[in-house]
Amino acid sequence: MSGYDAYFGNYAVVEETGQVSHTIVGSISPGNVGMTVLRNLRVDENKLTIQLETTTTEEEPITRTLTWKRIS
């Protein structure tokens, strides 16, 4: 959706590969429902980072990064 993506569902950590597996239950892109996708996962102390190597609509490579930090 114009560079934005949102979904929810179930997940499992794949420790052997350092990835997280998401099974999509709901999404703003209905065609994604039911898919299982892998994302790179890294935990450093109080910070969780999930990354996805993908491309723009112009086929330029990019890395999408989500970062969460524990504050308490």
Q: Quick one: which of 13, 15, 71, 12 has its CA closest to 46? A: 71
What's the pLDDT tens digit per position in 13-45? 999 999 999 999 999 989 999 999 999 999 999
pLDDT bracket for residue 55 (50, 70, 90): confident
Separation CA 3–CA 15 (nearest Å): 29
Backbone angles phi, psi at 68, to 5 degrees: -120, 140
Percent of the chain's residues with pLDDT above 90: 69
Q: CA angle 44-42-68, nearest 5°?
A: 70
